[in-house]
Amino acid sequence: MRILRANHLGMCFGVRDAIILAQQSALTEPLTILGELVHNESVLTTLRERGIESQDELADVTNNTVMVTAHGASQKALRRIRETGLKVLEATCPLVRVAHDALSNLVRAGYHPVIIGLKGHVEVRGMTEDLDDFDIVLSEEEATSLREWPRIGIVAQTTQPIAKVRHLVQLIRSRFPRSEVKFNDTVCQPTKQRQSAAVELAKESDVVLVIGGNHSNNTRELISTCRLFCSRVFHVQDASQLCREWFIDAETVGITAGTSTPDIVIDAIEDWLVRL
């Protein structure tokens, strides 16, 4: 059996930097992370083992220092934290900051903001909480049911597939030919690289394994992309979830992974396949 790794897979620099910041900060003072630092259970387990706490609600924080996750937060959320007297550490990915800035610039220029992303996702909440009026779309139906505005400014959640984003932008432009529609591409380069590599991997594979957390949006998108080109695609968080039956008659097995998946998890899965 041949085992192929995608040319681009696994943890991105924004996630690595956030983890390093959390671990270094916890060496000098007790630390609480607001929400999941990244959407990967193996990473979260490691952080807990190092004494780093996580809380979903600000009211439940007992330490003096809190960290904002790699997904970012709104200015309103940051103000709420600081008003309690807590010290704030920001682990926001720089490319998420780029998306925030792009959206703010469109609003200041008089465009009605439209975000292509997953409603309720922590990154999308961080992008929209400072806005008075906005729309979030992720389907053709949502895109074509928007109200008409003279000027529409579009950005995307950083982990959305660029092909999907461009398709929805074109639908909006077609739906509103009288509107000025401006699109700022805020899909991050690591997502684009992993999506493109996943397509090539799936085309060559009889079975594809997508490694990533259950709550990871970019992992879910990798699964959807691979299933367009390969009929046997399986999502796992770690090697313990692998099943021998998946690989019967498989000559080529492809491996890809979401942007919060550590190398050690990917390596363990490849080792399992080698011993199969």
- Of the candidates 49, 123, 141, 148, the residue annotated as catalytic is 123
Dihedrals phi, psi of 186, to nearest 5 degrees: -110, 10
Please state the separation of Cα 18 from the chain's center in Å: 14
Q: What is the CATH number of the domain that holds 246?
A: 3.40.1010.20
Task: Look up 29 and say whether it is catalytic.
Answer: no
Q: How many domains does the chain fold into?
A: 3
- Tell me: do 110 and 174 sit in the same domain: yes
pLDDT means per 10 residues in the chain (276 residues)? Answer: 97 94 94 90 90 92 93 94 93 96 98 97 96 97 96 97 97 97 97 97 98 92 96 97 96 96 96 94
What angle separates helix 189-204 from helix 162-175, to the nearest 10 degrees?
110
User: How many CB atoms lie under 10 A from the CB of residue 140?
Assistant: 12
Write the DSSP assignment of 157-200 as a string of letters: -TTS-HHHHHHHHHHHHHH-TTSEEEE-----HHHHHHHHHHHH
According to the model, what pLDDT value does residue 228 have? 96
Distance CA 162, CA 167 (A): 8
According to the model, what pLDDT value does residue 50 have? 92
Which domain covers residue 127, as residue numbers? 95-183
User: How many CB atoms lie under 10 A from the CB of residue 46?
Assistant: 16
Q: What is the CATH number of the domain that holds 57?
A: 3.40.50.11270
Residue-wise pLDDT tens digits, 115-132: 999 999 999 999 999 999
Which of 183, 204, 219 is a domain's end point?
A: 183
Which of 93, 111, 142 is a domain's end point?
A: 93
Is 67:25 a contact under the CB 8 Å cutoff?
Answer: yes
According to the model, what pLDDT value does residue 169 have? 98
According to the model, what pLDDT value does residue 40 have? 86
Which of 53, 72, 93 is a domain's end point?
A: 93
According to the model, what pLDDT value does residue 41 have? 85
